[in-house]
Amino acid sequence: MTVHLMRQPPAIPARIGPAEFSVFNPKGVAVRCPSDLDPLMRKAGGLWEAGGRRWLVERRRIGPLIRTLRLVTDPLFRRAGLDLDEG
């Protein structure tokens, strides 16, 4: 008998750099961010919700987006002297 282990979805941070996250249903995450991050949202399969001025991303695709945002935004903020790991 084969046992399939389901991975837990990644924890959703409140913010990574200029991007703000919020869970809007069990299968989706809303992301508010500056327009210069739009290509990353599109690559993650995000849908633009004009009324809410936010991107809607499927929860199953949020892990790679979070990793990419950390790679892209953290070095820029650290160069400016801001440490995103501070509380």
Write out pLDDT tens, residues 27-71. Answer: 999 999 999 999 999 999 999 999 999 999 999 999 999 999 988
pLDDT range class, residue 72, cuts 50, 70, 90: confident
Helix or strand holding residue 20 (H, E): strand 19-25
For residue 76, the 8-state DSSP code is H
Where do the domains of the chain lie?
A: 15-78
Q: Could you read off the pLDDT of 2-20 as tens digits, one per residue?
A: 666 666 667 899 999 889 9
- Is 21 a residue whose pLDDT tops 50? yes
Its sign, for the CA torsion 40, 16, 68, 25, is negative
